[in-house]
Amino acid sequence: MAAQNLSQTTYCVVTYGCQMNKHDSERVCGLLEECGSDRVETIEEADIVVFMTCCVREAADIRLRGQVETMKNYPLREGSPLTKRVIAIGGCIGQRDGQSLIDDMPHVSVVFGTHNLNALPHLVMAAVADQSPQTEILEAGDSFWSDLPTVREHSWSAWLPITMGCNNFCTYCIVPYVRGREKSRPIEEIEAEAKKLVADGVKEITLLGQNVNSYGRDLYGKPRFADVLECVAASGVKYLRYATSHPKDLTDEVIKKFATLPNVAPALHLPAQSGSNRILKAMNRRYTRERYIDLVHKVRNACPDIALSTDIIVGFPGETEEDFQATYDLVKEVGYNQVFTFIYSKREGTPAAKIDDPTPHEVIQDRFDRLVDLVQEKAYERNQSDQDKVVEVLVEGLNKRNASQITGRTPKNQTIHASVPPSMDPSSLIGRICTVQVDVAKTWYLAGHLVGVGE
């Protein structure tokens, strides 16, 4: 095989973790396809398997190692131009563990990190040519890979990174150690990419950053996130989303923008993590429960029908029943549309990992279960407000349980299934914005029937 290209090879990318990783995976696909490799859906069919990994909780670590271990025994597909399958580990575990992954799992051929996605093709080619493992990890990065090719998962929807890294150092969190210091992307670049995406037919753009609200802090304070919202909204994209918003940095100016710019979707993910001031302090979140609730009121005053979602960690070291009750009460008071609940997972190298906690696992599990019950009850209540309404839907595919129906998401980011008239092919609606009459509102989805087909 020629050392310059990967033609006649097949590849597959397995992605764990957050949207940042999903977006990085789209770049990985773009890079490999540029070298001539063809995408396949399964690991078995792939000559090159790239794992884009996450280490935010221990479960993700364990899963990755388990999956890579089992690949020892997978034969290479018939007809492959390679003599050995290339297993590449990138993303946050690659960044954190580097060469030790190859020491532990000698059948791994390539390890790369979060700051050098662009190195993947040459590392793969070197591993093939030399028949020896390759590791390359950079300590810091400063590229948003604007010039790298991208294969988007959906033609109608795109991620648009606006910051990389994180400076917040929440005491439980590994992200700042594996993604580096926060860096804002120049607004001209963001604007140019948004325009290009819209010209390309993209209807939904999600701005990405670990904390989008602190955009611009490294750019001498101007422009800020509110300016980014305004300039991307001006691209004319139909739905503008963003993740994630840190409550300590959510300004009145930003709240005003998402209340007044018509294409900013009425959905806000505002991670609370805890409702106890003592725990919030120990987490280094730098806001109080009172300030958080005040923000929720401001947001709802500005945008009454906004869908709020959040992240909550249960069992942070030293959490008492009283602390947990404060979290429970916060979730009850706010009444979120969706809550992502996590049991605290100790991450070596973070400050919280040094705090001993004698609380038995059963106690934490019981708190977690009580919280999940409440979350479901509140999500159900929230969804009832859309019963019998006509809502817009960006159609993403067919309902997995009933292929005669379409599935998509509403501007509030609710999943919705809808039946279509028998004369219509539901697949022809994928990627389009339709209107649906909601007949049933459940806890985690809405169901209805198609009433209009738009752009």
How far is the C-alpha of 246 from the C-alpha of 242, rounded, in Å? 11
Each residue 190-229 as x (binds ligand SF4 by CB under 6 A) or -, in order, gives --------------------xx------------------
Position among 23, 27, 57, 241 found at the interface with ligand SAH (CB under 6 A): 57
Position among 55, 175, 280, 364 found at the interface with ligand SF4 (CB under 6 A): 175
Smallest gap from Cβ 167 to ligand SF4, in A, equals 8
Position among 171, 345, 410, 414 found at the interface with ligand SAH (CB under 6 A): 345
Which residue number, 95 or 407, has a Cβ lying nearer to ligand F3S? Answer: 95
Which residue number, 169 or 444, has a Cβ lying nearer to ligand SF4? Answer: 169
Smallest gap from Cβ 209 to ligand SF4, in A, equals 10
How far is the C-alpha of 450 from the C-alpha of 219, rounded, in Å? 46
- Tokens in use for 99? 């060469």
By CB under 6 A, tell whether 340 contacts ligand SF4.
no
Position among 53, 171, 235, 273 found at the interface with ligand SAH (CB under 6 A): 273
By CB under 6 A, tell whether 176 contacts ligand SF4.
yes
Whether 417 contacts 427, CB under 8 Å:
no
Position among 271, 275, 411, 426 found at the interface with ligand SAH (CB under 6 A): 271
Which residue number, 10 or 273, has a Cβ lying nearer to ligand SAH? Answer: 273
Of 339, 241, 252, 335, nearest to 291 by C-alpha is: 252
Q: Is 72 helix (H, G, I), strand (E, B) or coil?
A: helix
By CB under 6 A, tell whether 408 contacts ligand F3S.
no
H or E element: which one contains 110?
A: strand 110-112
Peptide bond into 223 cis (omega under 30): yes
Q: How many CB atoms lie within 10 A of CB 106?
A: 10
The secondary structure of the chain in percent helix, strand, coil, rounded to multiples of 5, reads 35, 25, 40
Each residue 137-176 as x (binds ligand F3S by CB under 6 A) or -, in order, gives -------------------------------------xx-
Smallest gap from Cβ 19 to ligand F3S, in A, equals 8
Q: Is 267 left (phi over 0), alpha (psi -120 to 50) or beta?
A: beta
How far is the C-alpha of 338 from the C-alpha of 267, rounded, in Å? 10
- Residue span binding ligand SAH (CB under 6 A) among the ranges 65-73, 344-352, 408-416, 426-434: 344-352
Under rule CB under 6 A, which residues in 15-44 are in contact with ligand F3S?
Answer: 17-18, 20-21
Identity of the residue numbered 235 = S
Smallest gap from Cβ 218 to ligand SF4, in A, equals 15
DSSP state string for 25-46: HHHHHHHHHHTT-EE-SSTTT-
How far is the C-alpha of 183 from the C-alpha of 167, rounded, in Å? 9
By CB under 6 A, tell whether 54 contacts ligand SF4.
no
φ, ψ at 413 (rounded to 5°):
75, 20
By CB under 6 A, tell whether 410 contacts ligand SF4.
no
Contacts of 444 (CB under 8 A, 6+ apart): 379, 415
**Residue 412 binding result from ligand SAH, ligand F3S, ligand SF4, none, given CB thresholds of 5 to 8 Å by partner type:** none
How far is the C-alpha of 224 from the C-alpha of 230, rounded, in Å? 10
How far is the C-alpha of 143 from the C-alpha of 150, rounded, in Å? 15
**Residue 33 binding result from ligand F3S, ligand SF4, ligand SAH, none, given CB thresholds of 5 to 8 Å by partner type:** none
By CB under 6 A, tell whether 309 contacts ligand SAH.
no
Which residue number, 65 or 449, has a Cβ lying nearer to ligand SAH? Answer: 65
Identity of the residue numbered 119 = A
Smallest gap from Cβ 394 to ligand SAH, in A, equals 24
Q: Is 436 helix (H, G, I), strand (E, B) or coil?
A: strand
Measured from each CB, the residue nearest to ligand SAH is: 311
Which residue number, 96 or 417, has a Cβ lying nearer to ligand SF4? Answer: 96
φ, ψ at 179 (rounded to 5°):
-115, -5
User: What residues make contact with ligand SF4 under the rule CB under 6 A?
Assistant: 166, 168-170, 173, 175-176, 210-211, 246
